[in-house]
Amino acid sequence: MQNIKLNNGLEIPQLGLGVWKADNGQEAINAVHWALEAGYRHVDTASIYKNEEAVGRALKTASVPRKDVWLTTKIWNDDVRAGRTTTALDEALVRLKTDYIDLLLIHWPVDGYLAAWREMERALTAGKVRAIGVSNFMEEHLTDIVEQGETMPAINQIEYHPYLVQSDAIGYCDTHDIGITAWSPLMQGNFKDEPLFAGIARTYGKSPAQVILRWCLQNDIIAIPKSTNQGRIQENADIFDFELSEEHMIAIDELERGQRFGPDPLDFDF
Ligand code: NAD
């Protein structure tokens, strides 16, 4: 496993398990256990995924100690709008059965995000979270936090894959040393329609999914692919023994076409 150093000095494992849509029961528990067995040390959940209880149960019953696993969760939009970030965090801590979160994110840039950020800064001081960051923040939202907050976000978690590289948001984050986590790095499974990945994968004796995740790593991006299938969880972690050539990196870069599989942070209604 490979780590990335954040602007607060902490090291985050560059590969994590995403658990969106995993059931709040044995499905999420198994996925987390299989991921830890496969070498993952990073799990990404959110209160809106409604599976924090199962993730917490999985971490409690895992053979890997809690302190060795990077746990990310997110404050949902209703809580940000209602000004109840601190309460929402306390509730998440109970569901996750832990007394700290490694990384707490504002899930979407909804009204009230600046006040939420101030509450998160207090949570940082109180030791309830080790790092704070944002998700789906574009330059205009980031500027508010950077100019009016006291703490620089450690991470911006955004949709990122070969069809959508978001150079504007990433350029701003690079300038301010804000790390990038890619959500939907596997294009929500839609990579199968793109023949280039299979062609490159054959060259390295790897799968198309492994090629895309490797492309993320080589671009210094943190990736959190989702799977609840043990074979795929293992496959997605088996990406540290090969390196894509510059030619293949460029060929994948050239696929960019501004295509989203998720909502647009500048035009969403939830
Ligand atoms: P993803 O790009 O990780 O794709 C997941 C899908 O790809 C799986 O359901 C499966 O169908 C397929 N897949 C996974 N591994 C495969 C393999 N080896 N071979 C073939 N198919 C494979 O999509 P995602 O779940 O949208 O994103 C990953 C994670 O990002 C989520 O679970 C969640 O934790 C996070 N996320 C965050 C936000 C946000 O707003 N911050 C939004 C969406 C997702």
Percent pLDDT > 70 in the chain is 100
- Ligand 1 site, residue 81, Cβ cutoff 6 A: no
To the question of domain 3-185+220-228 being in CATH 3.40.50.300, the answer is no
Q: What does the pLDDT read at residue 269?
A: 96
| pLDDT of 170 above 90 | yes
Q: Which segments within 136-250 are labelled E, that is strand?
A: 155-159, 179-183, 222-223
The per-residue pLDDT for range 226-255, each reduced to its tens digit, is: 999 999 999 999 999 999 999 999 999 999
- Ligand 1 site, residue 181, Cβ cutoff 6 A: no
Residue 18 alpha carbon to ligand 1 centre in Å? 6
Q: How crowded is residue 143: how many other Cβ atoms within 10 Å of its Cβ? A: 13
| pLDDT of 114 above 90 | yes
Residue 229 alpha carbon to ligand 1 centre in Å? 12
Indicate the top mutation candidate among 51, 183, 234 to test ligand 1's pocket, ranked by most ligand atoms within 8 A of CB: 183
Q: How crowded is residue 211: how many other Cβ atoms within 10 Å of its Cβ? A: 25
Indicate the top mutation candidate among 55, 227, 236, 259 to test ligand 1's pocket, ranked by most ligand atoms within 8 A of CB: 227
**pTM for the structure as a whole:** 0.98
Residues in the chain: 270
Please identify, by atom number, the ligand 1 atom nearest to the C-alpha of residue 236: 18
Q: What does the pLDDT read at residue 222?
A: 98
pLDDT bin (cut points 50, 70, 90) of residue 204 is very high
The per-residue pLDDT for range 16-56, each reduced to its tens digit, is: 999 999 999 999 999 999 999 999 999 999 999 999 999 99
Rg over alpha carbons for the chain, rounded to the nearest Å, is 18
Residue 183 alpha carbon to ligand 1 centre in Å? 7
Contact 198, 168 (CB under 8 A): no
- Ligand 1 site, residue 183, Cβ cutoff 6 A: yes
Q: What does the pLDDT read at residue 1?
A: 83
- Ligand 1 site, residue 14, Cβ cutoff 6 A: no
Q: What does the pLDDT read at residue 263?
A: 98
Mean pLDDT along residues 179-201: 97
Separation in Å, CA 203 to CA 13, 208, 234: 27, 11, 20
Tell me, yes or no, if 49 is annotated catalytic.
yes
Percent pLDDT > 90 in the chain is 100
Mean pLDDT of the chain: 98
- Ligand 1 site, residue 228, Cβ cutoff 6 A: no
Mean pLDDT along residues 59-86: 98
- Ligand 1 site, residue 72, Cβ cutoff 6 A: no
Nearest C-alpha to atom 43 of ligand 1 is from which residue?
183
- Ligand 1 site, residue 77, Cβ cutoff 6 A: no
Mean pLDDT along residues 4-20: 98
Q: How far is CA 95 from the centre of its chain?
A: 19
